[in-house]
Amino acid sequence: MQQEVQLFLLLFPFILLGFTFYLLIYRPQKRYAMHLKGIQDGLKPNVKIISKGGIIGTVKEVTGQSVILSLHDESTIEILKSAVIALHNE
């Protein structure tokens, strides 16, 4: 019985560390990834977005894994959906 208690007391800090890691790092990161996937999957024309590179543009067309953006000076570029990190609210 005494050995079982000592083993538990020896493992308790590691269990606590694992639980803390889960609560403070893993869960928020998973929640953010799901939120980001929802933004990327819900892209539609005439929505302003911000890309990972800091480009702000209006979605002109969504094609497969890419998005065609219309920029402020009426030029267009094509970026991957995975490069979209946020919706731009003015």
DSSP string, 17-66: HHHHHIIIIIHHHHHHHHHHHHHHHT--TT-EEEETT--EEEEEEEETTE
Number of domain units in the chain: 2
CATH code for position 74:
2.30.30.140
Q: What is the pTM of this model?
A: 0.75
Quote the CA–CA distance of 50 and 14 in Å, as a whole number. Answer: 40
Q: Do 36 and 71 lie in a common domain? A: no
Q: Which residue range(s) make up the domain with 17?
A: 1-41
Each residue's pLDDT tens digit, 25-83: 999 999 999 999 999 999 999 999 999 999 999 999 999 999 999 998 889 999 999 99
Q: Do 73 and 50 lie in a common domain? A: yes
Confidence of residue 90 (pLDDT cuts 50, 70, 90): low
Q: Do 49 and 63 lie in a common domain? A: yes
Q: Do 60 and 80 lie in a common domain? A: yes
Report pLDDT for 74.
86
Residue 72 carries which DSSP code?
Answer: T
